Structure 1
Amino acid sequence: MSIIASMAAFALATSISPGPVNVVALGSGARHGFAASLAHVTGATAGFCLLLVLAGLGLHEAVAAWPQVTAIVRWAGVAFLLYMAWKLAADTGELGAGQTPARPSLLQGAAMQWLSPKAWLAALAGMGTYASDGDAAAVRLFALIYFIVCWLSVAAWAWAGSRLQGCLRTPHRVRVFNRTMAGMLVMSVIYLAAS
């Protein structure tokens, strides 16, 4: 297997798997549609790739030197994701004018990656595997491959959500969907907090 195929496979496995960013993309697609969710998709991708590049250029050494940084990021991420889950669970599902919650933004997508333990683990493990010596060319190549794969993966979740829009025509169905998404976020948080 070539290094490019190996990098792409790693990127796909870590990007397409369920996690907080993908759950939010699914919910955004269902609530706001595919096109309206692309800001979140792009922000999440750019935020992760920035984290990935910084990991490749030495951030992993800072994390190793200050292990409390990992704990701070982990618990800040847990708090942020639990807040998002609570907001979803508390949503009434009303479909009237002016009642639709704001769609996730580019900055929220990026922030979610920086607060996600899954993203930190993927960035540190990926760069540790493919560019452990900090070689700038390897870091750039991996970041480029990851950007493409990650964007397509998160976009696939948003697209899947947009296919659910026809099923979400009543407040009851929206509430059930939102609470299901909230439950998925909480499960992600439990898994990430335990790892």
Structure 2
Amino acid sequence: MSPTLLVSMAAFALAASLSPGPVNLVALSAGMQRGFRHSLRHVTGATCGFTLLLISIGAVLQPLLAWPAVMTTIRWLGIGFLLYLAWSMALDDGYLTSRPLAVATFRRGALMQWLNPKAWMASAAGIGAFTSDGAVPGVALFALLFFPICYVSLAAWGALGAWLGRRLPEPRKVRWVNRSLALMLAASAMRLAVN
């Protein structure tokens, strides 16, 4: 595989992983409320979930994406899940304690990717652009490249959240940020509903 193709794959992975989205907002919120180490639960789950989704689409699921009903189902499940996460964030009391944030778990991070239409579209676009018809070596290389880039990108959001958490220790300020993030998640869900 040419170095130019690897650089293109890496750039695609970075853009897809680092750009703001629901998964990143939850990493930010988890880092802010419970610290960087706690946010890594969500980061690890989301990275593993996305990588598994990428491999699954490359290996077997790509033909299913041609069926409108499949993408419609994924979209509506994703909208429901994003609204649930937004509601959970909005209800958080804002106290920075060791109490685990309900939305920032490994399992929910992974599930978020499988219910995130953006993740499905990024996976399908990446597989289509960088592998030849889902060939196993190309898909495997893309997944191996994507995993660390995705992990570091999401962890950066968790680190930013932890940094904010140290600067906004008052529950009132944390609640304000959480509700702002919840509003952004809900807006993201609503944008999916109208598209």
Is 1:113 equivalent to 2:89 in the alignment?
no
Aligned to 2:77: 76
Same amino acid, percent of matched pairs: 50
Aligned to 1:152: 152
Contact residue 94 and residue 100 of structure 1 kept, 8 A: no
Q: Cα deviation per residue 1:145-192 (whole Å; 9 max; x = unaligned)?
A: 110110010000000000011233222112101111101112222333
Change over 3 Å in CA distance of 1:99–1:37 after alignment to 2: closer
Aligned mates of 1:31, 1:160 — CA distance in 2: 11
- Aligned AA for 1:169? P
Contact residue 16 and residue 122 of structure 2 kept, 8 A: yes
Report how many residues are paired. 193
Aligned to 2:129: 129
Aligned to 1:143: 143
Change over 3 Å in CA distance of 1:100–1:144 after alignment to 2: closer
SS of equivalent to 1:4: helix
Contact residue 43 and residue 154 of structure 2 kept, 8 A: yes
Aligned mates of 1:99, 1:15 — CA distance in 2: 28
Aligned to 1:67: 68
Aligned mates of 2:101, 2:125 — CA distance in 1: 36
Aligned to 2:87: 86
* Normalised TM-score (structure 1): 0.92
- Aligned AA for 2:37? A
Q: 1:45 aligns with which of 41, 44, 47?
A: 47
Shift of 1:51: 0.6
Aligned-residue RMSD, C-alpha: 1.8
Gaps of 5+ in 2: none
Aligned mates of 2:100, 2:16 — CA distance in 1: 31
Shift of 1:61: 0.4
Q: 2:23 aligns with which of 15, 21, 24?
A: 21
SS of equivalent to 1:93: coil
Aligned to 1:34: 36
Aligned mates of 2:101, 2:20 — CA distance in 1: 23
- Which has the higher mean CA deviation after the structures are superposed, 99-108 or 31-40? 99-108
Shift of 1:103: 5.9
Shift of 1:94: 4.2
Shift of 1:92: 2.9
Aligned mates of 2:181, 2:26 — CA distance in 1: 8
Q: Cα deviation per residue 1:92-134 (whole Å; 9 max; x = unaligned)?
A: 3245x68664461111110000000110110011101111412
Aligned mates of 1:21, 1:8 — CA distance in 2: 19
* Normalised TM-score (structure 2): 0.92
Aligned mates of 1:111, 1:71 — CA distance in 2: 17
Shift of 1:60: 1.1
Shift of 1:53: 0.6
